[in-house]
A and B are shown apart, each in its own frame.
Chain A
Amino acid sequence: DSGVTQTPKHLITATGQRVTLRCSPRSGDLSVYWYQQSLDQGLQFLIQYYNGEERAKGNILERFSAQQFPDLHSELNLSSLELGDSALYFCASSPQGGLTEAFFGQGTRLTVV
């Protein structure tokens, strides 16, 4: 158990809908990263938050948005869903500075039908 919790584990929704993915980082970790992994693909970086502020943005679509709340949990909002948005969405967290690594949640498998 990495200590990073993602909910829900599985999500099936229709095209055009909106969903929210939730991530609770490890206790004390300030950075949260969101990644998208389509079938048999590598991990594509979407966005990073650090202590409530957006720190870096990757290839995130305008239909997607995220935020990190004061308690450090994060939500990824996906709207106007398309079939191509079907993927595994990972959240990872890391502490600030020092010996560090990213700890991954188990992912949310999103299926758009």
Chain B
Amino acid sequence: AQTVTQSQPEMSVQEAETVTLSCTYDTSESNYYLFWYKQPPSRQMILVIRQEAYKQQNATENRFSVNFQKAAKSFSLKISDSQLGDTAMYFCAFMTFSGNTPLVFGKGTRLSVIA
């Protein structure tokens, strides 16, 4: 069974600074997807970024980028130029390549961006 671990329950960052959220996972699969979801106070789940395990290049989406280390089973999220609107819970998630198994979530990291 796959597991996802987020070791930082809470983090804070000053506006305009950079912050990195950590995520590790455990799987015996070789093909899979990794995701970061954002859940703002509205509690809607919003996809931030996705990484395919077969791609060596790290995914980027504007101010959001990941550091994917497949051998270490590590998948961290870097937020650059943090904005107040980035304040949210961030969940790391794992899905097998076929999509026929549950999306497995970590317990989340609560990020506060401070003005």
Contact = CB atoms under 8 A, between A and B. Distances in A.
Nearest to B35: A101
Nearest to A45: B102
Given A33-B103, A35-B105, A107-B43, 15 more contacts: A31-B100, A42-B108, A43-B105, A45-B104, A48-B101, A48-B102, A56-B101, A92-B45, A96-B99, A97-B97, A97-B99, A100-B33, A102-B93, A104-B44, A106-B44
Q: How large is the interface on A (under 10, 10 to 19, 20 to 34, 35 or more residues)?
A: 20 to 34
Contacts of A92: 45, 103
Q: Across chains A and B, which 9 residue pairs bring their CB atoms closest together, nearest first? A: A104-B45, A100-B99, A42-B107, A43-B105, A102-B103, A45-B102, A94-B99, A42-B108, A56-B102
Contacts of B102: 33, 45, 48, 56, 58
Interface in B76-115: 91, 93, 95, 97-108
B44 A101 contact: no
Contacts of A101: 33, 35, 47, 50, 95
Interface string B23-53: 0000000000101010000011101001010
11 contacts: A33-B103, A35-B105, A37-B43, A41-B107, A43-B45, A48-B102, A56-B102, A95-B99, A97-B98, A102-B35, A107-B44
A99 B100 contact: no
Nearest to A58: B102
Interface of A: 31, 33, 35, 37, 41-43, 45, 48, 50, 55-56, 58, 88, 90, 92, 94-97, 99-104, 106-107
A103 B35 CA distance: 12
B45 A90 contact: yes
B99 A31 contact: yes
